[in-house]
Amino acid sequence: MRIYLDHNAGAPLRVEAREAMLAVLGAAANPSSAHREGARARALLETARADVAALIGAAAAEIVFTSGATEANNLALRGAVGGRGVVTTAIEHASVLETARALEAAGTRLAVVAADGEGRVAADDVAAACDDATGLVSVGLANGEVGSVAPVAAIAAGLRGRDILVHTDAAQAAGRLPVDVRALGADLLSLSAHKLGGPAGVGALYVRRGVGLAAQATGGPQERSRRAGTENVAGIVGFGVAARLARAELATTAAAAGALVERLWSGINARIPDAVRHGPAAGPRLPNTLNVGFPGCTGESLLALLDLGGIAVSLGSACAAGSAEPSHVLLAMGLDRDAARSGVRLSLGPATSAAEVERVLDVLPGLVAQVRAVRGEAAA
């Protein structure tokens, strides 16, 4: 039996979401159609919208469905900037950083704020990077590689009255941490279904009532004219079910994941004393995420051996998989390239068991020793 510890890349589709999606696929209709079948599809769509909104404390009318968090991030940055400047951080997901850089290449002023050695960003640094030309700040709520949590509420409070919109990518945080858009003070917030146990290819952008947003996909009035195109009703229904379950189970799953991560780290630290934990040693942090470096190892080699041994982990963001470059997040935290290449991310889910964690602890030391021996022989 395989052990899956890559939930930050994509959580397995929940049975309840799959069943709900199959029921919809068997009776598909366009939710914009005026007939009875269309009205039924519209009702399913709006029920899911309410469930997704409830997960983050929003109103249903403030949810715009997209194809995922990457599209939501693009829509937020491209649709809300309006020619004014952007401030973001060095540890954002590629869908934020690359979009911000594309805007910069087109003439938008861009400032990128540094992170500290634990992957944290200071609210004062973000505020200091803003000037009269700034129109949007984009800071991810939780980093999916090292688990750090950004002070988005403090950032929003510090910018209040400055006519600057605040966007946060909450794809990794939602369902793992309590998320309330009102308490955060966010104007825009991105979500992804497949991080929650919903289907891949579905996401959402929260747009606070009154915030102007230029559509990037045009050609229809769907999603209140913010994203043209017939909605993916089955996928959205699966998203809604996953969001409802994640909200109901949040406290239990977060506590269980946190305890298993600490067991995992304490076991690694005892068995491999020179292992290094990347990211915050104390909260706030994602409860399910552990990023560990093993000096003298390459993460790619260790990942391959773990995979052969039936254990799925990752090197960081799945969107950067296959890249020859080390993690930009670890580099931004001050690690050198060799240290950044030694990092492996283990991200747990609701179904991860204590027995699976113990199995990883039994296997990992031998694999680390194997990689180090091969590397030592190659260097000799």
Q: Looking at the annotation, which residues are catalytic?
A: 319
| Cα(220)–Cα(352) distance, integer angstroms | 43
Query: For the purposes of burial, counting CB atoms within 10 Å of the CB of 277, is it exposed (0-12), middle (13-18) or buried (19 or more)?
Result: middle
Provide the 3-class DSSP secondary structure of residue 219: coil
> How many residues make up the chain in this entry?
380
Q: The tokens of 320 are what?
A: 């950067």
Q: At what angle do helices 233-271 and 354-379 cross, to 10 degrees?
A: 70
Cis status, amide bond into 284, omega within 30 of 0? yes
| Cα(134)–Cα(246) distance, integer angstroms | 35
Provide the 3-class DSSP secondary structure of residue 106: coil
Q: The tokens of 99 are what?
A: 């979009």
User: Diameter of the chain by CA atoms?
Assistant: 74
51, 243 contact by CB (below 8 A): yes
φ/ψ of 169, rounded to 5, equals -85, 110
| Cα(208)–Cα(61) distance, integer angstroms | 9
Q: The tokens of 53 are what?
A: 């909104």
Mark out the alpha helices in the chain (DSSP H runs). Answer: 15-25, 36-55, 69-80, 94-105, 123-129, 152-159, 181-184, 222-225, 233-271, 299-308, 328-332, 337-341, 354-379
Angle at 40 between CA 16 and CA 52, to 5 degrees: 45
| Cα(85)–Cα(193) distance, integer angstroms | 30
